[in-house]
């Protein structure tokens, strides 16, 4: 077993021809490993930076991912299969072989400068975490936020990292113009469980502290209880919502665990190693909530599932939010028009071109 990593093996990617064998983030010094599996970073020159999306069950049309792969190592991460496109393993490779888009800022400026560009909120953290440990060194996310701030362009952020506090100096002024919303993802408040589920993400308490810092700076913020894992983290639902509300969160959402492609065998391997007594029960409820399958890729149901368990979670979530004053505005999480897109102005173009 590899300490401080989520995956337990190097599962083969779908497109491989050969199979292979197997900052203060709230954790104490004693929990660190003397000889951790090394992380390698490849600097890449991306060809484009804004990804467009028209999925009917996703509340954003534009997104940016500054990095590929994620050192947080969350075993359940639905982005793991994307590493297969690079002929790398969605297992340990996904969390140890990372890619930084070092030309992201210049690409964003070029995109925003196009004559036909129309401002719509840009979502960060929709695939891999934009504030993962790698960001401390490369500061790609910082550069992107600086560009958007200068252009008065709206954005949303979802992260498991307390590093977002570093950018409060940029986000707070944007919030006063109704240009930003930030969400902290908290799966569980159980310290030990979080350490195996999300080995290099910030500790649960540190994430609550990050919510408090964002709210204290006047930045609209919320909590995502995601993913909700049946018979494992669902018992923490109300506790997470209460901790977030007390920290100043005004919004909340939840997403049922998804197990697409290579995530499925990796998660089942993790269950057998870390939760052997609950493994069968967890997978049984997942199948009950996914129409008899272990994953449901269909729009509308893939995020929430269906059945008795899902109905119960939905009722618990709604009751807790009502009691705690979360999501008090109608359709607070899903609205595409809440942030102000009217303030946008294209980046200034240097040289003589700026005269035209």
pLDDT tens track of the chain, all 356 residues? 556 666 776 666 655 544 444 467 776 655 555 556 899 999 999 999 999 988 877 889 999 999 999 999 999 999 999 999 999 999 999 999 999 999 999 999 999 999 999 999 999 999 999 999 999 999 999 999 999 999 999 999 999 999 999 999 999 999 999 999 999 999 999 999 999 999 999 999 999 999 999 999 999 999 999 999 999 999 999 999 999 999 999 999 999 999 999 999 999 999 999 999 999 999 999 999 999 999 998 888 888 899 999 999 999 999 999 999 999 865 444 434 489 999 999 998 654 444 44
Residue with tokens 């300490």: 3
In a domain, 13, yes or no: no
Establish if 5 belongs to a structural domain.
no
What is the pLDDT, as a whole number, of residue 15?
54
Name the CA dihedral angle for 128, 205, 145, 52, rounded to a multiple of 10 degrees. Answer: 30
Report yes or no on 352 lying in a domain.
Answer: no
Reported pTM: 0.87
Instruction: Give residue 3's pLDDT.
Output: 60
Tokens of 120: 């719509």
CA triple 239-184-232, angle to 5 deg: 45
Which structural domain range is residue 156 located in? 30-328
The sheet that has 67-68: what strands, in order across it? 40-44, 97-101, 67-68
User: Is position 152 within any domain?
Assistant: yes
Q: What pLDDT is stored for residue 37 in this prediction?
A: 82
Is position 338 within any domain? no
Note the pLDDT of residue 45: 97
Q: Which residues pair with 44 in a beta bridge?
A: 101
CA 277 to chain centre: 29
Q: Which pair of tokens denotes residue 287?
A: 């199948």
CA 340 to CA 105: how far, in whole Å?
A: 22
At residue 331, the pLDDT reads: 42
pLDDT, tens only, 138-179: 999 999 999 999 999 999 999 999 999 999 999 999 999 999
Distance CA 339, CA 183 (A): 14
- Is the distance from CB of 249 to CB of 212 less than 8 angstroms? no
In-domain check, residue 65: yes
| Count of structural domains, the chain | 1
CATH number, position 295: 3.80.30.30
Among 50, 45, 47, which Cα is nearest to 155's? 50
Question: What gap in Å lies between CA 145 and CA 130, rounded to an integer?
Answer: 11
Question: Distance between CA atoms of 84 and 82, rounded to whole angstroms?
Answer: 5
Question: What Cα–Cα distance (Å) separates residue 146 from each residue in 49, 285, 333, 338?
Answer: 15, 44, 25, 21
- pLDDT tens digits, 246-295: 999 999 999 999 999 999 999 999 999 999 999 999 999 999 999 999 99
In 3-state terms, what secondary structure has residue 200? Answer: coil
What's residue 54's pLDDT?
83
Buried b (16+ CB within 10 A) or exposed e, 296-315: beeeebbbbbeeebbeebee
């Amino acid at each position: 077993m590899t300490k401080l990593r989520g995956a337990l093996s190097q599962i083969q990617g779908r497109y491989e021809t050969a199979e292979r064998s197997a900052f203060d983030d709230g954790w104490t010094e004693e929990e660190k490993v003397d000889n951790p599996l090394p992380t390698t970073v490849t600097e890449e020159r991306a060809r484009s930076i804004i990804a467009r999306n028209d999925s009917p069950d996703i509340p954003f049309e534009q997104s940016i991912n500054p990095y590929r792969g994620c050192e947080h190592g969350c075993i359940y991460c639905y982005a793991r299969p994307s590493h297969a496109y690079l002929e790398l393993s969605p297992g340990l490779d996904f969390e140890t072989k990372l890619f930084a888009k070092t030309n992201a800022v210049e690409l964003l400026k070029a995109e925003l400068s196009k004559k036909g560009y129309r401002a719509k909120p840009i979502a960060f953290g929709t695939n891999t975490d934009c504030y993962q440990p790698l960001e401390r060194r490369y500061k790609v996310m910082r550069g992107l936020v600086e560009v958007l701030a200068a252009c008065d362009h709206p954005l949303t952020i979802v992260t498991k990292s307390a590093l977002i506090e570093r950018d409060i100096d940029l986000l707070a002024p944007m919030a006063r113009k109704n240009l930003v919303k930030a969400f902290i993802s908290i799966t569980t408040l159980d310290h030990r469980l979080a350490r195996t589920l999300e080995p290099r993400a910030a500790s649960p308490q540190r994430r609550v502290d990050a919510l408090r810092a964002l709210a204290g700076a006047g930045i609209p913020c919320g909590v995502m209880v995601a993913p909700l894992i049946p018979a494992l983290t669902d018992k923490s639902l109300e506790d997470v919502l209460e901790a977030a509300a007390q920290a100043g969160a005004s919004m909340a959402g939840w997403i049922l665990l998804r197990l697409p492609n290579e995530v499925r065998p990796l998660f089942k391997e993790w269950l057998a190693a870390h939760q052997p007594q609950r493994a069968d029960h967890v997978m049984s409820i997942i199948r009950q909530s996914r129409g008899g399958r272990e994953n449901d890729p269909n729009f509308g149901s893939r995020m929430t599932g269906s059945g008795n368990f899902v109905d119960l979670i939905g009722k618990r979530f709604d009751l807790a939010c009502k009691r705690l004053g979360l999501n008090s505005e109608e359709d607070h999480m899903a609205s595409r028009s809440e942030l102000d897109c009217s303030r946008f102005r294209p980046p200034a173009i240097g040289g003589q071109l700026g005269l035209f």
